[in-house]
């Protein structure tokens, strides 16, 4: 008969080793973005993540910072349990992110970079995206291509509008975005919970909010898009 500890290891990811987080955040011309960065960084540090922050990266810097992050993980002396990457920027109409230089970078290319990290084989990799998908009144939600995580063990999150006649704008004001602020609130209240269950609660709260979008005088709804290839329960605090 298997012991209780073995059962836990079979059903949960082992996060007893180091954790690393990378934040790439375009702050300029994004009111409230600094509040999101501070709130999310405080949460990650409380959960034991070694956090690296880069603000106002150009499109090229997005890719370079991901490559350097992967290299640091592959060359560090000790093992890694988990990695989190938060991407906060303006978004474009074809699902791309916009660097501080207003040049395009594709989120799937960034996810692919991390999927090649040897130190993270078999480990959960979390991507958080807080970005618009342009201001048009049609299109598809910004997300990461599922085929870019061939190993699995991945989780990607993004915020996109719920109403079908609304442009894909990720709501944010001077206090920060609904997505990030609600995410931090829920995870701080129950850090030991299963992450996917907590994200369902985040989604419920975000969907229940009535918000005013930029250049819009009507109340709107928004919700999360959650894509997961996790194979075990992921609890960020024991």
Cβ-defined contacts of 34-40 (< 8 Å, 24+): 35/174, 35/175, 35/176, 35/181, 36/88, 36/130, 36/172, 36/176, 36/177, 36/180, 36/181, 37/88, 39/176, 39/180, 39/181, 39/184, 40/86, 40/128, 40/180, 40/183, 40/184
Active-site residue, selected from the candidate residues 82, 132, 223, 235: 132
Token pair, residue 161, equals: 């509008």
Give the whole-angstrom CA distance, residue 185 versus residue 120.
27
Annotated catalytic residue 106: no
* Number of neighbouring beta carbons within 10 Å of residue 144: 25
Cβ-count burial of 232 within 10 angstroms (0-12 exposed, 13-18 middle, 19+ buried)? middle
Give the whole-angstrom CA distance, residue 93 versus residue 225.
17
Beta bridge partners, 181, equal none
Active-site residue, selected from the candidate residues 44, 90, 106, 123: 90
Q: At 22, which helix (H) or strand (E)?
A: strand 18-25
Q: Which residues are catalytic?
A: 90, 132
């Amino acid at each position: 008969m298997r012991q209780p500890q073995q059962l836990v290891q079979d059903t949960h990811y082992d996060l007893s080793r180091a954790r690393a987080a990378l934040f790439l955040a375009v702050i300029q011309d994004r009111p409230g973005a600094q509040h999101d960065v501070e709130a999310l960084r405080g949460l990650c540090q409380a959960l034991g993540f070694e956090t690296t922050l880069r603000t106002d990266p150009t499109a090229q810097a997005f890719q370079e910072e991901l490559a350097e992050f992967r290299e640091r993980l592959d060359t560090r002396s000790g093992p890694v349990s988990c990695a989190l990457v938060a991407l906060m920027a303006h978004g474009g109409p074809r699902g791309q992110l916009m660097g501080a230089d207003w040049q395009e970078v594709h989120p799937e290319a960034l996810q692919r970079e991390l999927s090649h990290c040897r130190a993270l084989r078999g480990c959960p990799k979390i991507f958080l995206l807080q970005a618009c998908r342009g201001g048009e009144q049609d299109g598809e939600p910004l997300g990461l291509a599922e085929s870019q995580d061939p190993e699995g063990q991945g989780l990607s999150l993004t915020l996109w509008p719920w109403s079908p006649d609304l442009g894909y704008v990720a709501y944010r004001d001077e206090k920060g975005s609904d997505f990030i602020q609600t995410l931090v609130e829920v995870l701080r209240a129950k850090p030991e919970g299963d992450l996917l269950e907590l994200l369902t609660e985040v989604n419920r709260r975000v969907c229940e909010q009535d918000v005013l979008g930029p250049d819009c005088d009507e109340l709107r709804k928004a919700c999360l898009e959650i894509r997961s290839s996790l194979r075990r329960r992921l609890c960020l605090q024991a």
